[in-house]
């Protein structure tokens, strides 16, 4: 280590003793933790967490936790809270205790947490199935979503909405809401893991004919990579190598196919010069190559979605539009019967996994991503097919209370000239002039403006920074929703960056480290 530090900065001298070095690192760690605690204390929103468990090259496993919120200056923050070493038997109770210990270190309680985003592993589901978080919500025991982690593929879909709800102070008795709502709940499944499951089940499990073609291509790629002579010859011809998909990388077959279809002539030339004598490889036919190319185009749509949803910025508000777009793309018919079957299967899997977030008539409808989109001026337009009243009710049901602000005599009596918005407000308020219903009417107008694109050119954070005083009560709720990541990618980045220092074998987010 001393040699490394010296080569990096010759002017810096490490302490002569390991004990002294350890003390310096511990002090620096505590100083940084204290700064972070103060930043979290002065935040403008609830805190969302992502957490994930990974194993190193040995037998040790670790739990990583990241926090997401808007600080006092309305800057979106993604902070790494730390790693906790997991025991060999890291069941749900162990994970819950370690995460609780981690957030306590930063002065946080579960009441400060809006969402906990995890993958669908059974221990993650068990860890947070009884957690009640946020604005007085009441959650009963659920079944869990899927028994899936980085090392296993089997699992079953769950009903995350199997719970009682308690709308404390959210609606007055005379205001009837038509739909049952989920309050700020305990856990949200990672959208990217869900998309990966859609790809896995659609191709490997349910489209045997396409999967046979993909396996044929994989065998060719694997042989050229494994054979020293074939690999060297291929590199001389192309100045590159073929890529093998990884088990933990999202949509990694896209990268294999995308490169393979471009370099098939060179691969064929290498196979002729260095054929596999034992068990000769089957060649890719012209029709199969055409199918692979079209399949690559379909996968590119999913890859774009994955790249958008793993960005280190606001992602929750984009999710509704992205998933809706994937559903629309996969509903299109294809001339190629193999790909037509694939898209039909993909559409069915997307509906099965994400339908409750997109379809408002779903029996287990979860409005999370609808509300996230409604609070983002650049994304709310994708909700244009949903009635403003429905979105208004969804938001109102999640407010701890709509404040009883005194009536504005100008609006109610009409003594001052009325704008179009004020006239609309008066028409909605004809039945009652209660302060609460006035705020509901204002909220309805606001939602109508959002989904029709009135503020589409406004960046979300600055929009809420400059929000009018009449809607200031929405600010914390909006920022809290926008701060929630749509995936556990931030935790994945932690482990991906650490594995990048070795061989990148478990790197999920950086496709350039593939192979």
pLDDT tens digits along 424-443: 555 554 444 567 777 888 88
pLDDT value at residue 18: 76
Q: Mean of the per-residue pLDDT values for the chain? A: 79
Where does the pLDDT of residue 406 fall: very low under 50, low under 70, confident under 90, or very high at 90 and above?
Answer: very low
Where does the pLDDT of residue 340 fall: very low under 50, low under 70, confident under 90, or very high at 90 and above?
Answer: very high
* Dihedrals phi, psi of 149, to nearest 5 degrees: -145, -165
Residue 176 has pLDDT above 50, yes or no: no
pLDDT tens digits along 92-106: 888 989 999 999 999
Radius of gyration over alpha carbons of the chain, in Å? 27
pLDDT value at residue 257: 95
pLDDT value at residue 380: 95
250 vs 300: which has the higher pLDDT: 300
Residue 129 has pLDDT above 90, yes or no: no
State the pTM of this model: 0.78
* Dihedrals phi, psi of 47, to nearest 5 degrees: -105, 130
Rounded percentage of the chain residues whose pLDDT exceeds 70: 76
pLDDT tens digits along 353-401: 999 999 999 998 999 999 999 999 999 999 988 999 999 999 988 876 5
Mean per-residue pLDDT, 259-280: 92
Closest CA to 237 of 272, 265, 216: 265
Q: Which of 85-94, 450-459, 493-502 has the highest mean pLDDT?
A: 450-459
pLDDT value at residue 324: 96
pLDDT value at residue 494: 78
Residue 337 to residues 73, 148, 209, 329, 342, Cα–Cα distance (Å)? 54, 31, 10, 16, 9
pLDDT tens digits along 448-494: 999 999 999 999 999 999 998 888 889 999 999 999 999 998 888 87
Where does the pLDDT of residue 231 fall: very low under 50, low under 70, confident under 90, or very high at 90 and above?
Answer: very high
Where does the pLDDT of residue 174 fall: very low under 50, low under 70, confident under 90, or very high at 90 and above?
Answer: very low
């Amino acid at each position: 280590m001393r040699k490394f530090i010296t080569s990096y900065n010759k002017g810096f001298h490490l302490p002569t003793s390991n004990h002294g070095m350890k003390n310096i690192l511990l002090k620096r760690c505590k100083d940084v933790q204290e700064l972070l605690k103060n930043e979290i204390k002065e935040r403008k929103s609830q805190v969302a967490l992502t957490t994930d468990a990974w194993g190193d090259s040995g037998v040790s496993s670790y739990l990583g936790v990241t926090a997401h919120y808007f600080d006092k200056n309305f800057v979106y923050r993604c902070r790494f809270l730390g790693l906790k070493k997991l025991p060999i038997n890291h069941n749900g109770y162990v994970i819950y205790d370690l995460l609780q210990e981690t957030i306590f270190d930063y002065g946080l309680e579960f009441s400060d947490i809006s969402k906990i985003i995890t993958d669908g592993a059974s221990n993650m589901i068990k860890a947070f199935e009884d957690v009640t978080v946020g604005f007085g919500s009441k959650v009963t025991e659920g079944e869990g979503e899927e028994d899936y982690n980085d090392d296993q593929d089997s699992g079953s879909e769950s009903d995350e909405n199997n719970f009682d709800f308690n709308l404390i102070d959210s609606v007055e008795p005379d205001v009837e809401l038509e739909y049952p709502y989920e309050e700020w709940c305990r856990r949200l499944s990672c959208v990217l893991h869900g998309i990966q499951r859609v790809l896995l089940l659609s191709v490997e499990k349910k489209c045997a004919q396409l999967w046979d073609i993909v396996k044929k291509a994989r065998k060719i790629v694997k042989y050229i990579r494994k054979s020293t002579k074939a690999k060297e010859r291929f590199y001389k011809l192309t100045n590159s190598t073929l890529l093998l998909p990884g088990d933990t990388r999202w949509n990694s077959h896209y990268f294999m196919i995308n490169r393979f279809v471009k370099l098939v002539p060179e691969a064929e030339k290498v196979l002729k010069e260095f054929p596999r004598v034992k068990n000769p490889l089957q060649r890719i036919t012209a029709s199969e190559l055409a199918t692979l190319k079209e399949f690559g185009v379909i996968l590119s749509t999913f890859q774009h979605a994955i790249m958008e949803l793993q960005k280190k910025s606001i992602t929750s508000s984009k999710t509704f539009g992205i998933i809706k777009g994937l559903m629309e793309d996969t509903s299109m018919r294809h001339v190629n019967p193999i790909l037509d079957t694939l898209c039909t299967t993909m559409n069915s899997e997307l509906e099965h996994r994400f339908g409750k977030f997109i379809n408002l008539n779903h029996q287990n409808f979860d409005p999370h991503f609808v509300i996230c989109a409604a609070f983002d001026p650049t994304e709310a337009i994708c909700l244009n097919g949903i009635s403003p009243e429905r979105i208004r009710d969804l938001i109102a049901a999640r407010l701890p209370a709509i404040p009883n602000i005194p009536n504005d005599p100008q609006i109610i009596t009409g003594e001052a000239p009325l704008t179009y918005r004020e006239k609309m407000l008066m028409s909605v308020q004809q039945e009652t002039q209660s302060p609460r219903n006035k705020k509901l009417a204002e909220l309805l107008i606001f939602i109508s403006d959002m989904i029709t694109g009135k503020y589409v050119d406004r960046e979300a954070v600055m929009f809420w920074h400059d929000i009018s005083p009449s809607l200031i009560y929405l600010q914390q709720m909006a920022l809290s929703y926008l701060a929630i990541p749509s995936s556990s990618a931030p935790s994945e980045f932690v482990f991906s960056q650490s594995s990048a220092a070795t061989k990148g074998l478990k790197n999920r987010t950086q496709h350039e480290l593939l192979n």
